[in-house]
Structures are given as structure tokens and as C-alpha cells.
Amino acid sequence: MALTEHPAKVARDASLDGRALLKGRQTKASIIEAALGLASHIGLEGLSIGALAEVTQMSKSGVFAHFGSREELQISVIREYYRQFEAEVFYPAMQARRGLPRLQALFANWMQRVAIELQSGCIFISGAVEFDDRPGPVRDALANSVQAWLSAFCRAVVQAKEVGDLRADADERQVAFEIHGLILSLHYEHRFLKNPGAVDRANTGFAHLLARYGQPANP
């Protein structure tokens, strides 16, 4: 006759397992957040299990247990960066009306994010420099994240054309390309060259783009 565990013990063990699982997830999330902060300053390539263990005051084996490899750690950081980017830049802008208001909201939110990253660094930009010619899972994760964002931005441009806020003959890919170029130039001018007024120039450039691609005023 098979013996069965007491229901109370089963429930208690299940509760303990649930708490352990939750704690493990919370610990991993904390590690990833610390890794993201570290990568913002030293780049994805500078991340290591040892450096992260020192920052989080954990053992190397404890950090390693959550990821299994440095590569998986880097990919986890990219995913977390993109999640935060979406939460701060993309989703709030979706509350604005389709067309020019949404496009302007996306750019404004992007610029707010950039204002912080001009001091700390941007994973998208530093990662592109580190992995542009290094094929593999980390480069794929980074490139897919950047492409997903640029595709979403391009869709906002298309919608602005559809509702008549931009000229029907405007090339949406060209518009998105030029706006992305403003952000890249801003990082270069401000972080590397230390040129004053770079933020204002980026905002002015965006206004010029809208004027060039916008519908002409009715006479």
C-alpha cells in the first residue's frame, strides 16, 4: 500500500517552494538591474561575473547560478534595457493621438531618456560599437532590440502620413532614419565632443524635419 504525505505537509512544502522561487526571481532581477547600471558605464563587453559579484556583494558562484554564462548575462541586460526603454518611451506615447501628436510624444520621451543617458551612457549605442562586427547571440539580441524600436518608430511615421499630418509622398524610412540620426548625433556631440547646445540642436532638427515633411498650410 502506497504511503502519501500529509496534506498539510504538502501544502507547506509547496508554499516554501513558491517563496524560494519568488526570492530567486527577485534576486535575479536585482542582479540584472545592477548589471545594467554597470554596463551603462563600462559597456556590455566590460561585464563579467566577477565584477558583478563584487558590485552585488555576492559570490561568483551565486551570480553564475542565475545565468550560467557571461553571454546569458549580457543578453539578460539587453532585454531589461529594452523593457525599461519601452516602459519609458514607447508605452506612454501610445496615449497620444495617432499622427503628429504620437510622433512628437515618442521623440519627446526619447529625448528625456537620452538626457539621462548623456551622463551614464546608452546600451544601444555602446553595444553597437562593441558588437557591430561580432556575430553571435549577444549581437543578435542587441540588433533585434534596436530594430524593434526603430520599426515601431517607423510605424508612427506611417500613421502620421495616414491621418494626413505628414505628406503622403514622405518616405517613412527616410524620416525615421533622419530622426534616429539626430539622436546619434546628440550622443556624439554631447558625450564625446562636449559641445554645448547639442540638446537644443537636436530639438531644432526635429522641428525642421516636421516642417519639411509636414503638410503645407492651407492657403
Host domain of residue 113: 9-213
Contact 155, 103 (CB under 8 A): no
52, 61, 103, 199 from 110: Cα distances, Å: 28, 37, 11, 12
CATH number assigned to the domain comprising residue 167: 1.10.357.10
Number of domains composing the chain: 1
Is 2 contained in some domain? no
Q: What percent of the chain shows pLDDT beyond 90?
A: 64
Any idea how long the chain is? 219
* Rounded CA separation 145/162 (Å): 26
* Rounded CA separation 63/31 (Å): 8
Contact 146, 128 (CB under 8 A): yes
Confidence of residue 19 (pLDDT cuts 50, 70, 90): low
What pLDDT shows up at residue 219? Answer: 40
β-partners of residue 166 are: 214
Is 4 contained in some domain? no
C-alpha cell at 25: 526571481
Average pLDDT over residues 114-134: 90
124 Cβ contact list (under 8 Å, min separation 6): 81, 142, 145, 146, 149
Instruction: Give tens-digit pLDDT for 179-197.
Output: 999 999 999 999 999 999 9
Instruction: Give tens-digit pLDDT for 62-120.
Output: 888 888 888 999 999 999 999 999 999 999 999 999 999 999 999 999 999 999 899 88
What pLDDT shows up at residue 28? Answer: 87
Alpha carbon 133 to chain centroid distance? 21
Is 219 contained in some domain? no
Q: Which of 40-49, 171-180, 193-202 has the lowest mean pLDDT?
A: 40-49
Look up residue 165 and give its DSSP letter. Answer: S
Is 112 contained in some domain? yes
C-alpha cell at 200: 537644443
Closest CA to 46 of 124, 126, 125, 118: 126
**pTM summary value:** 0.83
Q: Which of 14-18, 58-62, 202-206 has the lowest mean pLDDT?
A: 14-18
Closest CA to 187 of 115, 133, 127: 115
Is 218 contained in some domain? no
C-alpha cell at 125: 549605442
- Using DSSP's 3-state secondary structure scheme, residue 97 falls into coil
Contact 99, 165 (CB under 8 A): yes
51, 146, 213 from 82: Cα distances, Å: 22, 8, 29
